[in-house]
Amino acid sequence: MTSPGSTPDIATRTEHDLLGDREVPADAYYGVQTLRAQENFHITDVPVSHFPRLIEALAQVKRATARANHQLGALDDERAAAIEQACEEIAAGDLHENFVVDVIQGGAGTSTNMNANEVIANRALEIIGRSKGEYQHLHPNNHVNLSQSTNDVYPTALRLGILLTFPALVESMDHLITTLRAKGEQYSEVLKMGRTQMQDAVPMTVGQEFNAWATTIEEDVERLTRTASAFQEINLGATAIGTGITTDPCYAQLAIRELSELTGIDFVVSVDLVEATSDTGAFVTFSGILRRIAVKISKICNDLRLLSSGPRAGFHELNLPSVQPGSSIMPGKVNPVIPEVVNQVAFEVIGNDLTVAFAAEGGQLQLNAFEPVIGFNILESTRIMTRAMNTLADRCIAGITVNEDVLEDNLRRSIGVVTALVPVIGYGPATDVAATALETGRPVADLVLERGLLDEARLQSLLSPASMTAPHRPTPTGTMPALSEEQLDSGEITRLPVDPDQAS
């Protein structure tokens, strides 16, 4: 009986390891080595269970190895079946709360591997009618970890975990691309001024701007998928340093075949297992693609914040959806909070990539001890980028509207449109017109007509949306559309007459 205010006694079981005996909570599926890891690595407060796909990957690797060991006669029927059932349950989502070790840990992932070994063993013990901790019947190391080392299981699980995780990012990228394309279609005929170096440049359509954002994300969908395929080469069967010590000669191929069958992913054994056990090149490359995507998405968000700035003292070309009040002191203020949060996600991903690079470089001799932080940062970058893409698409892009009056006024007052006239009136006269327009504030079109450089019909043709937002060939009477691919292929190119006044 406990006294008032005291903590009730918790039922425990005694477990033993290299360092001695410890009391483990009786109902816990993890064991003594996991308990020690909890005490040693109180770092991020982010447990391995934060990444369910990584837990699923660990379970599938352990299931595949159990199958291989059973086929080779190294694991009896009862234990093999119990281990496989436990792994199947964990892969389906059970017992994840027992994966409690911190994602960042010393030991090259040994604590994560032992956490999995102990949870699988204790669940398997229950399946064969034994109690948790009765390892004389089914042991975390002797049976669950048979023919394995952390040094081949952990990197294999990380690779599988990423392969299971990244399709959600691809899906979110596709969703953002579709949303941007729809907005581009919606405003495909609306003209605006393009800008370079924060200065007026030449006209474009709002649709072209949105489609350009879509294209820059679209470029990396295939690149990300192609890069991820490098994770299909694994070192399972390498054990400690790549020599395959403690394994049957047929084990590696069997285990990888079983893992491929379980996951539907075509894994292959690395050509050089010693090299593969210490190499983290695939992680570096994949993280670099995540950084590339982050840089691009952050640039888009910078553009959105600029184009929506104001509403009275900024660009005010776009209206972003109002999703929450913007200030605790300034009434009526609404901030671009969605682009801002996506910017911050991008900064995090860029920083994570630097961590991955340092961790990969820090590996020594036959193993990289820093794979836990590599895995954590890649999985976290993938997770938050997936959410950021969906948030940007649904909470911002889909609801954007355009201030067409502002765009029209900007076009009317801009000197950038004079660029469309250069092929016809020449660079010198166009420069004089631009300087006068800038000095007086008068529209370019009025000055061109006033100086008799063009007549009204010709001017309107050159300043039409079609002429100013796509390649066109000027003619003495107007403009001609760009040559088609068929005309270019056939060589049917009509030469235009040269205006002697412009030939010089």
Active site residues: 327
460: part of which helix (H) or strand (E)?
helix 456-462
Cα–Cα distance measured from residue 442 to residue 433, given in angstroms and rounded to the nearest whole number: 10
Q: 17 in helix, strand or coil?
A: strand
Q: 388 CB contacts (<8 Å, ≥6 apart)?
A: 297, 341, 342, 345, 346
384: part of which helix (H) or strand (E)?
helix 371-395
Residue 269, both tokens: 């054994």
Residue 173, both tokens: 């990228």
The partner residues of 479 in beta bridges, in order of sequence, read: 474
Cα–Cα distance measured from residue 123 to residue 134, given in angstroms and rounded to the nearest whole number: 11
The string of DSSP codes covering 82-151 is HHHHHHHHHHTTTTGGG--SBSS-SSTTHHHHHHHHHHHHHHHHHHTT--TT-TTTS-IIIIITTT--HH
CA distances (Å), 471 to each of 7, 98, 255, 330, 467, in order?
79, 63, 58, 47, 7
The sign one gets for the Cα dihedral 97, 103, 106, 107 is: positive
- Whether the ω angle into residue 140 lies within 30 degrees of 0, i.e. cis, is no
Cα–Cα distance measured from residue 280 to residue 317, given in angstroms and rounded to the nearest whole number: 46
C-beta separation of 273 from 244 below 8 A:
yes
Residue 8 is given by DSSP the state P
339: part of which helix (H) or strand (E)?
helix 337-361
- Can you list the positions of beta strands (E) in 252-321? 268-269, 318-319
CA distances (Å), 501 to each of 393, 474, 475, 497, in order?
52, 15, 14, 12
Cα–Cα distance measured from residue 145 to residue 117, given in angstroms and rounded to the nearest whole number: 6
Q: 273 CB contacts (<8 Å, ≥6 apart)?
A: 235, 237, 238, 242, 243, 244, 252
> Residue type for 256, please?
I
> Residue type for 196, please?
T
The pairing of strands 233-234 and 268-269 is parallel
- Other CB atoms within 10 A of residue 341 CB: 17
C-beta separation of 78 from 113 below 8 A:
no
Residue 122 is given by DSSP the state H
Residue 356, both tokens: 């991955």
Residue 379 is given by DSSP the state H
